[in-house]
């Protein structure tokens, strides 16, 4: 019997098979969860690249697959209407959505454009609030919302730039949502993963150097795996984490705990 037998949920943000949201989804599915999924609408519907990429992964078990631009309230309403029609009530929501225009992400924070900043905050942070507002009326008591964050919201990570500011706001949003939804029996948490090769990671400068830095500094002297992120995300969404809310759980081999390099620090080969 799986931890998620007879449990249902909605997953936002699987871009491809390297996405951390996909790693979590695989664990949820292996434990018996039934899920609906969303994808970013394709600019040219004729090609449906985003939809096809998602369906290639989830079609064998997806209860629904819908386009969703999180800046569009109608799209969000349709997703939760589908969730209610399909499941009645749901047990969890996974939010894995972040974006900043490439130019604004690569520039120093003092050079970020007003429009770029607003877009990054709306998609990366406000989307969680907009989703939580709708989810609260569909989630069962004991339900859970999980988002993905990063250490760049707590510490300066050169190259992470404006996205670090967004993650700081996202982390605080988790705490405020946890307080407000707690009386309904709904938990809200964030998972802060160490560097893993994903589509979003490719936009961060000097990513290979970051991987070597983590491997040399982390107490476990290694980088993490997508499977470890998947299992931790599944745990936070499960009843095993029933007493945990407002938390940012670091899955980074302990890197976040370090204030200086260890005596045997090395960048490796």
Q: pLDDT of 110-149, one tens digit each?
A: 999 999 999 999 999 999 999 999 999 999 999 999 999 9
- The sign of the CA dihedral 197, 195, 36, 12 is negative
pLDDT at 205: 55
pLDDT at 48: 83
Is residue 110 part of the annotated active site? The answer reads no
Q: Which of 47, 99, 110, 160 is catalytic?
A: 160
- φ, ψ (nearest 5 deg) of residue 41: -60, 140
Of the candidates 130, 110, 108, 134, the one whose C-alpha atom is nearest the C-alpha of residue 121 is 130
Of the candidates 67, 194, 181, 170, the one whose C-alpha atom is nearest the C-alpha of residue 135 is 181
Read off the tokens for 36. 């609906």
Is residue 150 part of the annotated active site? The answer reads yes
Q: Where are the domains of the chain?
A: 8-251
Number of H helices, E strands in the chain: 9, 7
pLDDT at 42: 84
pTM (predicted TM-score): 0.94
Read off the tokens for 82. 């589908």
Helix or strand (DSSP H, E) at 9:
strand 8-12
Q: Which of 150, 176, 214, 255 is catalytic?
A: 150
Fold topology of 8-251: Rossmann fold (3.40.50)
From first CA to last CA, the distance across the chain in angstroms is 45
Residue segments in the chain with a per-residue pLDDT below the cut of 70: 45-47, 198-206, 268-269
**For the stretch 216-249, what's the b/e string if a residue is b when 16 or more beta carbons lie within 10 angstroms of its beta carbon?**
bbbeebebbebebbbbbbbbbbbeebeeebbbbb
What span, in angstroms and rounded, lies between the C-alpha atoms of 19 and 26?
11
């Amino acid at each position: 019997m799986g931890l998620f037998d007879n449990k249902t949920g909605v997953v936002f943000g699987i871009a491809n098979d390297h996405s951390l949201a996909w790693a979590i989804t695989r664990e949820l599915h292996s434990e018996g969860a039934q899920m609906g999924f969303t994808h970013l609408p394709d600019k040219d519907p004729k090609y449906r690249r985003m939809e096809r990429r998602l369906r290639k992964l989830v079609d064998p078990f997806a209860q629904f697959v819908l386009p969703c631009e999180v800046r569009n309230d109608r799209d969000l309403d349709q997703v939760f209407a589908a969730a209610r029609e399909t499941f009645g009530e749901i047990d969890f929501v996974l939010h894995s959505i972040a974006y900043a225009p490439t130019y604004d992400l690569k520039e120093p924070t003092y050079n970020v454009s007003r429009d770029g900043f607003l877009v990054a905050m709306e998609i990366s942070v406000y989307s969680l609030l907009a989703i939580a507002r709708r989810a609260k009326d569909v989630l069962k008591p004991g339900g859970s919302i999980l988002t993905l964050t990063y250490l760049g919201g707590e510490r300066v990570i050169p190259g992470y730039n404006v996205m670090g500011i967004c993650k700081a706001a996202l982390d605080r949003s988790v705490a405020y949502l946890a307080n407000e939804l707690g009386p309904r029996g709904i938990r809200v948490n964030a998972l802060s993963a160490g560097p893993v090769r994903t589509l979003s990671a490719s936009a961060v400068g000097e990513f290979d150097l970051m991987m070597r830095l983590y491997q040399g500094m982390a107490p476990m002297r290694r980088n993490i795996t997508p499977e470890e992120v998947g299992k931790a995300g599944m745990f936070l969404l499960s009843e095993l984490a029933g007493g945990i809310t407002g938390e940012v759980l670091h899955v980074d081999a302990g890197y976040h705990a370090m204030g200086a390099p260890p005596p045997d620090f090395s960048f490796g080969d």
